[in-house]
Structure 1
Amino acid sequence: MKIRDSLSEETTKQLKRITPGSNRKKESDADPIRNREWEEIMGTRRETYQRLGGRVRRKR
């Protein structure tokens, strides 16, 4: 038996309001970060360079 079972209805309502999980945003409300944005953050969508005969050129 848990402590919540012995409490009155009014105090259980107050506990539900105070609990930390009640104030979180739902995943559907949050702004999702797309795959392309993650690549930009991590730096994988950067221009790469290659050395050709002493000069540096952009890799294709």
Structure 2
Amino acid sequence: MKFADQLSDKHKQLEQMKSPKMKQSLPGLKAGGKTGKPMSRRDWEDIMGTRRDTYERRNGAVRRK
């Protein structure tokens, strides 16, 4: 008896959805989920949080540096 014979119908459907054919049929996505547009330096800085305001406490109040 093979392992695939013991799977339920739900599991078989999930395995079919994970197949490479299903991934290629999704519109707008390339392999690996990339959109094709490279990210700029500014985008990376926004993601990392280096372009956020910095705050500090002065006499109990929070103020921007």
TM-score above 0.5:
no
Relative contact order (C-alpha < 8 Å, sep 6+): which is higher? Answer: 1
- In our comparison, the structure showing a higher alpha carbon Rg is 1
